[in-house]
Structure 1
């Protein structure tokens, strides 16, 4: 189990589940790419930061996706406020 996390495969599994969720929302609910990006984009970016941390990447590989998740999250909040 330790190798599963240390290799980053735990984060890969979570990213796979997020991808399945995105496909399901797109096909069954007709969500737009923008809606999917707003809802699942921040989660995917945070998980990418987690993967970088688990695999011992440099600090900026961890910080970059975490920082990039904020604009997508704000975009989602703004869209929900309008809708």
Structure 2
């Protein structure tokens, strides 16, 4: 039964919740602007959504859409970091 949880998309849901909590903690504790935290975490969130779509058996376009979102947000993140 516990093995079923590790192979279900609900594990990714749990990781998504913890990632969002991490963003909130970073924004509050480190006093980072919300935009900075969002741009920093979005590529990983998009990758997690792609994994979740694949594990849940979603229609095939959702995985490439999530991966493209991860690429685009990663480029924005790198642009932000190198601009400073």
Q: Same fold, TM exceeding 0.5?
A: yes
Q: Following TM superposition, by how much is the alpha carbon of 1:13 offset from its aligned partner in structure 2, in angstroms?
A: 1.3
Measured after TM superposition, the shift of residue 2 of structure 1 is 4.0
CA contact (8 A) 1:6 1:55 kept: no
Structure 2 length-normalised TM: 0.88
Runs of 4+ in 1 over 4 A off after TM superposition: none
- 1:45–1:69 Cα contact (<8 Å) kept: yes
What TM-score comes out, normalization by structure 1 length?
A: 0.89
| Alignment partners' CA distance in 2, 1:2 and 1:45 | 25
List runs of 5+ in structure 1 lacking aligned partners.
none
**How many pairs does the alignment contain?**
83
Aligned to 1:9: 10
Q: Distance in 2 between matches of 1:11 and 1:28?
A: 25
Root mean square deviation of aligned Cα: 1.3
Deviation at 1:22, TM superposition (A): 0.3
Residue of structure 2 in register with 1:68 after alignment? 69
Measure how far apart 1:68 and its partner are.
0.9
